[in-house]
Amino acid sequence: MSVLELPRIYFKGKVSWDPITTNNYNTNYDEDQGETIYPNASDKVKAFREQAINEVTSDGNWNPQGTHRVAFYETAVNGFDLDGAIQTKDPFVSAAVNFQGMLVDLEPFGAFTSQLFFDSMLFGVDGGYRIKLPRTMRFVDRYLNFSRNRVNAMIAGRASVVWQSSFAKSNGLSINAFDSKALQQLDRALQSNDILGLTVRFNSYRTIYYDDPSLTDVPPATRYATAAKAQQTVLNAGGFQPNPARGLVVGVIGLWRAHEPAQEPCDRTLIPAASALGSIWARAKGSKLVLDLSNSVPEVDQDLKKKDLGALEVGTVDPDGTNFTRLASFDYSQYDRQAYEASAGLVTLDIPKGTDLTKDLQVRNSSTQPQFQELALRAIPVEPNIYFNEGDQITASIQVYKRGEPLKAQAPVTLFEMDSSGGVIVNTTLTETDSSGVLLLPLPSAKGQVVAYVPSVNSSDQPTAQNGINPQTCTYQYIRVHPADQDIASLAPTWANVYEKVLANWNAMAPCMDNWLDLKDPGQIKAYAPIIKRLTDPANFEHYRYMPIVRDLSPGQRTLLYKFLDGPVVAESHQTSFADLSRSYRRPLRS
């Protein structure tokens, strides 16, 4: 199933993360209403921007002038697997992997729902060896591993996470294989009726901030304080001053088969049975067992040395965890840094033919201590993150899987409703799937809010009152309901109302907008009306350039904005000249 099937192609490289971080604070932003919270000042946007810069040193707001852009760089194909062995001799190896997206959290204050909105992904070059992947759906992250590298102790530098998106072959996907055997086989495999397209799964890890891998936020964090102060000084001096974080990626592109979740792993799932590990996904077929360790084994230093868990054994066990039957073993050389980077953490093992694979898988260390234990049942939302508007009637769909295959039977589900932080259980409901293993979940739409649901199908995948969602064991779905804002929709479409209720929010939170549009200038807003309408059109919600990037425009705000954009032209006297604009760019924000 999935990228664990053959053929598959590996890539590795680097990634730049440049989100605006100012809306990560509930003192700056109301995530339920999608509104900026301003300081009390006559020029509230200016004061808000100054406050955001002040927070660089006072509150860890590391990137108030980000762009949300995410880009792969120095990322290329580095191998492939056609028959269970990694190969590197193919003209497609070394092909560049191009990706540029917008990093947006559905829940701005938390870390569980990052998404990458983008238009297309390209492996190789047009005219040459190439896989062209127009977007079918956004990338979503899951299985956030807070313990991936505790030495890289700076903000999210400790963590890693799994990203996944899938690309329908009916949606413009194309492969130019020429004489590349890797691409020829992938192209051939795509022709099967059961294959919907291709899935890209990648792991991001070792994120560094302020371009300095030596920084730590563990007190006293004096070097971090110095770097933050320097950044604050630069920000106060003016100009466009993003402060992107940088990380590493390893990934794999492979088959997307019918009935597989598109945006998160659904293969057989082995959750950690020991501390500081991340979940494994596995696929067993015939005499081969593939383990996806992309998110599983921590690094122990800044040089990315993998933790040595010793020789590991994979076997099957009875439901009570006893009666271990060994299937295969692998040693450190198969999951150390070199192996990890060569195959994106995928390890292929030979297992005896005829193995009974209906039992739970388990991975043990040489002391017979379980390290990873399979959860046979997993309840996975068809759509991991959903946005909709107050009053909309939306029903979510959650599919229960058994050992990576859709469960074709009724199953009891304990549904946990969580607050937006994922830390507080608000409500618990016992329910049941239909005979296809599908749970239909009508979503609440009475007000603007962010809510999480955790569908549990066994005792090990439940959130706890103490820790909330455990992303290594829980599956979950987040929803963001935009308030209707009918009161805003009914306002007169004056410039004052439009700026106050709509544009000032963007202007305060996203100084990068200054680079192409002065949001406080009604003349420019009018001049760009067709473009603004196109970029804010709900039909373009998934597009890379959708506005606002953080996707918090309510229907009422859109109505007011469009009434203004469609209204009479604003008097010329209101228009700021380019000379004024140029002048403004040269002034520090504080002046």
Contacts with other proteins, residue ranges (CB under 8 A): 14, 16, 71, 73-74, 76, 94-96, 124-129, 176, 178, 210-211, 230, 233-234, 237-244, 246, 514-516, 531, 577-579, 581-583, 585-586
Q: Which is nearer to other proteins, 97 or 509 (CB)?
A: 97
User: Three-state DSSP class for 193?
Assistant: coil
Tell me the closest approach of the beta carbon of residue 563 to other proteins, in angstroms: 24
Cα separation, 403 vs 457, whole angstroms: 13
Q: Which is nearer to other proteins, 49 or 268 (CB)?
A: 49
The residues that bridge with 402 in the sheet, in sequence order, are 377, 405
Q: Which is nearer to other proteins, 276 or 304 (CB)?
A: 304
Q: Which is nearer to other proteins, 446 or 579 (CB)?
A: 579
Structure tokens at 274: 């020991």
Q: Which run of H or of E encompasses 530?
A: helix 529-536
Cα separation, 165 vs 265, whole angstroms: 10
Contact status, residue 122 vs residue 130, Cβ threshold 8 Å? yes
Tell me the closest approach of the beta carbon of residue 396 to other proteins, in angstroms: 36
CB atoms within 10 A of CB 69: 18
Tell me the closest approach of the beta carbon of residue 591 to other proteins, in angstroms: 14
Tell me the closest approach of the beta carbon of residue 114 to other proteins, in angstroms: 19
Tell me the closest approach of the beta carbon of residue 70 to other proteins, in angstroms: 10
Q: Which is nearer to other proteins, 440 or 569 (CB)?
A: 569
Tell me the closest approach of the beta carbon of residue 105 to other proteins, in angstroms: 21
Cα separation, 321 vs 323, whole angstroms: 7
Tell me the closest approach of the beta carbon of residue 581 to other proteins, in angstroms: 6
Q: Which is nearer to other proteins, 183 or 553 (CB)?
A: 183
* Residue closest to 165 by CA, chosen among 116, 132, 123, 124: 116
Structure tokens at 516: 């192409």
Q: Which is nearer to other proteins, 100 or 497 (CB)?
A: 100
Output DSSP code: residue 538.
Answer: G
Residue pointed to by tokens 């955001």: 52
Q: Which is nearer to other proteins, 74 or 434 (CB)?
A: 74
Q: What angle do CA 290, 296, 297 make, to 5 degrees?
A: 110
Contact status, residue 556 vs residue 486, Cβ threshold 8 Å? yes
Tell me the closest approach of the beta carbon of residue 349 to other proteins, in angstroms: 33
Tell me the closest approach of the beta carbon of residue 178 to other proteins, in angstroms: 5
Tell me the closest approach of the beta carbon of residue 578 to other proteins, in angstroms: 3
Q: Which is nearer to other proteins, 238 or 493 (CB)?
A: 238
The residues that bridge with 329 in the sheet, in sequence order, are 313
Contact status, residue 402 vs residue 377, Cβ threshold 8 Å? yes
Structure tokens at 330: 């692998």
Burial label, 511 (beta-carbon count in 10 A; 0-12, 13-18, 19+): buried
Residue pointed to by tokens 């709509």: 502
Q: Which is nearer to other proteins, 209 or 387 (CB)?
A: 209
Contacts of 547 (CB under 8 A, 6+ apart): 506, 532, 535, 536, 553
Structure tokens at 259: 């009935």
